[in-house]
Amino acid sequence: MREEHPKIKHLRSISVMMDSKFIGPFGIRFGLDGIIGLIPFVGDFIGSAISLYIMIQAGSMGCSPAVLVRMGLNLLIENVIEMIPFAGNVFDFFWKANNKNIALLESHTLNPKGATNQSRLVLGLFALTVLGLFISSIAITVWLIRVIFEWIALFSS
């Protein structure tokens, strides 16, 4: 039997804590990502930062650009849906990007393909994309709040 890499074991424990540590109603598994995602602005940023940490560690372990792109797509799907008020919070409890990415990492370690400098480029692009999504979600939220207050002022006069 093949010995598990200690870094994968560490990353899996983070992934389980973030995505599937607790059991809720109807046997639905969820983690801290769904809970901290309920905190406006900061929650999604913390969850994304931890997800990026897992992806960066996978890159440092030699994952190929193809694996990193698949991991990044899991994170992008999660981050884009999280921008939708309320639906994004519910989605957080069901889409387990970290667990999916650990499965990709484990699959890569069973059949490794060499990483190149392209892996660093892919990681950098996904980090910038997630940061851009985070900043965009704050801007959209601020704009929506402003529009709501303008409507309230319009109808209250």
Tokens for 93, please give them: 């409890």
| Segments in the chain forming alpha helices (H) | 6-19, 32-36, 42-60, 65-82, 87-92, 97-110, 117-156
More confidently predicted of 88 and 7: 7
Q: pLDDT tens digits for 81-107?
A: 887 878 888 888 888 999 999 999 988
Asked if 44 contacts 79 with a C-beta cutoff of 8 angstroms, the reply is yes
pTM (2 d.p.): 0.73
Asked if 133 contacts 79 with a C-beta cutoff of 8 angstroms, the reply is yes
* Coil, helix or strand at residue 60: helix
Q: pLDDT tens digits for 15-70?
A: 999 999 999 888 889 999 988 988 877 888 898 899 999 998 988 888 888 888 88
